[in-house]
Amino acid sequence: MSDTTSETTTRTTTRTVEFVKGLESKAPGGPIEQRWDKHRFEMKLVNPANRRRYTVIVVGSGLAGGAAAATLGEQGYNVLCFCYQDSPRRAHSIAAQGGINAAKNYRNDGDSVFRLFYDTVKGGDFRARESNVYRLAQVSVNIIDQCVAQGVPFAREYGGYLDNRSFGGAQVSRTFYARGQTGQQLLLGAYQALERQIAAGSVKMFPRTEMLDLVLVDGRARGIITRDMVTGKVERHVADAVVLATGGYGNVFYLSTNAKGCNTTAIWRAHRRGAFFGNPCFTQIHPTCIPVTGDHQSKLTLMSESLRNDGRIWVPKKRGDTRDPRQIPESERDYYLEERYPSFGNLVPRDVASRNAKQVCDEGRGVGPGGLGVYLDFADSIKRLGKAKIVERYGNLFDMYAQITGENPYETPMRIYPAIHYTMGGLWVDYNLMSTIPGLFVAGEANFSDHGANRLGASALMQGLADGYFVLPYTIANFLAQIKPGNLDTGHVAFAEAEAEVAQRTQQLLQINGKRTVDSFHRELGKIIWDECGMARNEAGLRKALQRIPELREEFWQNVRVPGESGELNQELEKAGRVADFLELGELMCIDALTRTESCGGHFREESQTEDGEALRDDANFSFVSAWEYTGNLAKPELHKEPLAFEYVKPSQRSYK
């Protein structure tokens, strides 16, 4: 995505960075390409014979959690791994379609660790920590090697070597893929490694188990409280360190591309126990999803944005044009991305593509039910390449589209609309991926991550596996080496108190017996967040949301109806607990969005835009990570700032013109 490469060579002077107490990034100094190696050498190690005396809890079994649990198990630690699904193989990482980036430069087209680092910092609109991003780019190459060794069936060329493609607007081909199911294959690789450790006895797996609270003893994370989702039994688990790898919080919007069960409960409970929440308003909208059909809609389906490589996006020039798209002549079509961004065209970054779609729909030129859609047209590509080529490239996506909409995309243009897809925000972590609570590590989408204000395509899989396979195993060892193992059991008063709180909350949810279903609250919350804290935000809208969300939360606790009992499989109870937490998180997202009066990446404040309507950053005032501390008053969290220094990639205004 580097349109101007000259900047890479300029090394600007280091700023003086003032860290707020508790927000030390622990990022090492020195030349960036040596930082991780130096840090790895300086970190402490745990003797192999001593490792089994340490217990590590891993919550979540997706790419980050599954990879971490498997690797820690291989190294000899005693691992307890938890997931809400019936098997770790079902974590939502499985749904990623497009691919995984790695700076292998197998294509000899100018890629390098530095270029992947540079593209990621720039794509994130200069709101990520340079040291972390560089490390991510470095270990990306190891991830591919590891996955190949595990038997991940990556696409190959006829010579037997790994195939690559260009993805999401990158100007080099660095994306590795396994058909349209890359996430599935990478996850199954991690899952199989995890099952091997379960068989070996180093990992104990707890499926259908949900974490409902974090337990702190003497200020350190020492365990979790869980609910067995089959029997309803509330249980205590003690450990020397806790890892949260529970994914993102996109389901706060109700409609998202996330799996239905994805939730914020684990990280939100940890936040309430003292873990700072980083950049909660940084959420990513994916431009190529299948539009909503009605009130029954339960989720949105994403189609890989690789479709934008060959599809042309357009809307009618005229408002309210309801003609069959095939009847609309060329001269009456507005290929607005090609028009506005001649050098990137339909391949502009996700946030730019999404915002432009919203804009043309707001102008009344959207297509399909409710006018919430734009066309993605393959007619020209089919003419140029032949239908066979399109079938080969996108066959499964076209089938999926036809299945859902009942329309044939080979004959008539697809309709697409943006949907929430990924959350860059999450619990704040330092360079070691440790949160502000000692002993609490956060990995993958659950942390505030290396993607800054916007994530590039094919980088989520990379980050999840980097954290799980190649970062946490070192940084957790370093932490454990400095503490004594064990010396605590679940009889400690902190466990009893946390368990009592969980039980009390569950009983309260069951006793309200009001009139509205959990889903109806969730849907209403989602609408508020989508309208006021979605693709574009402004002060008035955010203030309105901040008025409305606490009212809705109040109503929830007075009027929700949760049928059934606690001591059984009760899916409504599970949902109620999650929605209760979304109702709190939603408020923090809006507070964060209101406070950050600049636009950057996925966070677009209407008050801060260039003359052409592009996101306008305010580096002088907002070059920092917002890390929010829970104060006991949801309306008044405390903001801590981690200043961001850019020594290697000089902040510039993104331009995709």
Sites for another protein among residues 448-467 (CB under 8 A)? none
Residues 188 and 89: beta-carbon distance below 8 Å: yes
Whether the CB-CB separation of 390 and 376 falls below 8 Å is answered with no
Whole-angstrom Cα distance, residue 579 to residue 319? 38
Tell the smallest beta-carbon distance from residue 410 to another protein (Å). 18
- Candidate list 294, 329, 491, 632; residue touching another protein; CB under 8 A: 294
249 three-class SS:
coil
Pair 582, 251: CB distance under 8 Å: yes
Convert residues 138-157 into a mask of x (bound to another protein by CB under 8 A) and - (unbound).
----x-xxxxxxxx-xxxxx
Residue 404 as a binder of another protein (CB under 8 A): the answer is: yes
What is the nearest approach in angstroms of another protein to the Cβ of residue 108?
13
Q: Pick out residues in 507-546 that bind another protein (CB under 8 A).
A: 515, 517, 519-520
8 A C-beta contact, residue 278 and residue 128: no
Size of the site for another protein (CB under 8 A): 79
- Under the binding rule (CB under 8 A), the answer on residue 20 touching another protein is no
Stretches 14-22, 88-96, 116-124, 633-641: which one binds another protein (CB under 8 A)?
A: 88-96
When the beta carbons of 296 and 636 are compared against another protein, the nearer one is 296
Q: Is 296 in the site for another protein (CB under 8 A)?
A: yes
Torsion from C-alpha of 243, 215, 274, 251, nearest 10 degrees: 60
- Using the rule CB under 8 A, which residue among 35, 39, 51, 92 binds another protein? 92
Residues ≥6 apart with Cβ < 8 Å to 611: none
Choice between 369 and 486, CB closer to another protein? 369
In the complex, least distance from residue 265 CB atom to another protein, rounded to whole angstroms: 15
* Region of 12-20, 277-285, 297-305, 607-615 interacting with another protein (CB under 8 A): 297-305
Restricting to residues 152-211, name those near another protein by CB under 8 A. Answer: 153-162, 178-179, 181, 184-185, 188, 191-193, 195-196, 198-199, 205, 207
Among 39, 90, 115, 548, which residue sits at the site for another protein (rule: CB under 8 A)? Answer: 90
Q: How far is the CB of 527 from another protein (least distance, A)?
A: 17
Q: Is 74 in the site for another protein (CB under 8 A)?
A: yes
Residue with tokens 């454990």: 480
Q: Is 41 one of the binding residues for another protein (CB under 8 A)?
A: no
Which CB, 232 or 550, lies closer to another protein? 232
The answer to whether 299 contacts another protein (rule: CB under 8 A) is yes
DSSP string across 519-531: HHHHHHHHHHHHH
Q: Which C-beta is closer to another protein: that of 230 or that of 500?
A: 230
With b for 16 or more beta-carbon neighbours within 10 A and e for fewer, the 548-568 pattern comes to bbbebbeebeeebbbeeebee
564 sits near another protein (criterion: CB under 8 A):
yes
Q: Which is nearer to another protein, 23 or 72 (CB)?
A: 72
Q: Which token pair is 187?
A: 């996850």
CA-wise closest residue to 281 among 593, 585, 540: 593
What is the DSSP pairing of strand 277-278 with strand 624-629?
antiparallel
The DSSP line for 509-575 is HHHH--SEEHHHHHHHHHHHHHHHSSSSB-HHHHHHHHHHHHHHHHHHHHHEE--S-SSS--HHHHH
- Taking the C-alpha atoms of residue 243 and residue 211, their distance in angstroms, rounded to an integer, is 12
Please list every residue from 303 through 322 that binds another protein, using CB under 8 A: none
Coil, strand or helix: which one is 614?
Answer: coil
Token pair of 152 as six digits = 């991940």
Residues contacting residue 415 through CB under 8 Å, at least 6 positions apart? 290, 291, 367, 368, 373, 374, 375, 376, 405
**Among residues 18, 21, 42, 406, which is the contact residue for another protein, using CB under 8 A?**
406
| Nearest-approach distance from CB 215 to another protein, in angstroms | 27
Nearer to another protein, 159 or 329 (CB): 159
Residue 181: closest CA among 92, 95, 91, 88: 95
CB of 507 to another protein, least distance (A): 18
382 touching another protein, by CB under 8 A:
no
Q: Which is nearer to another protein, 256 or 436 (CB)?
A: 256
- In the chain, the N- to C-terminal Cα span, in Å, equals 12
Minimum distance of another protein from residue 492's CB (angstroms): 31
Quote the Cα angle for 597-651-140, to 5°.
110
Cα Rg for the chain, rounded, in angstroms?
24
State the nearest-atom distance from the C-beta of 404 to another protein, in Å. Answer: 7
297 binds another protein, rule: CB under 8 A: yes
Q: How far is the CB of 274 from another protein (least distance, A)?
A: 30
Q: Which of residues 218-237 bind another protein (CB under 8 A)?
A: 230
Q: How many Å apart are CA 226 and CA 224, to the nearest integer?
A: 6
The single residue listed with the structure tokens 């999404």 is 354
Pick the piece of the chain touching another protein (CB under 8 A) from 8-16, 396-404, 489-497, 614-622.
396-404
* Residues within window 344-373 making contact with another protein, judged by CB under 8 A: none
List the one residue from 94, 224, 313, 460 that touches another protein (CB under 8 A).
94
Does residue number 620 form part of the binding site for another protein (CB under 8 A)? no
> Contacting another protein (CB under 8 A), which of 1, 27, 69, 70?
70
| Position among 23, 128, 259, 576 found at the interface with another protein (CB under 8 A) | 259
Residue 101 binds another protein, judged by CB under 8 A = no
Q: Which two tokens stand for residue 510?
A: 């069951």
Non-local (6+) Cβ contacts of 479 within 8 A are: 241, 432, 434, 438, 439, 441
The yes or no reply on residue 95 touching another protein (CB under 8 A) is yes
Q: Is 349 left (phi over 0), alpha (psi -120 to 50) or beta?
A: beta
Half-sphere exposure of 560 (CA within 13 A, CB side): 28
Q: How far is the CB of 305 from another protein (least distance, A)?
A: 15
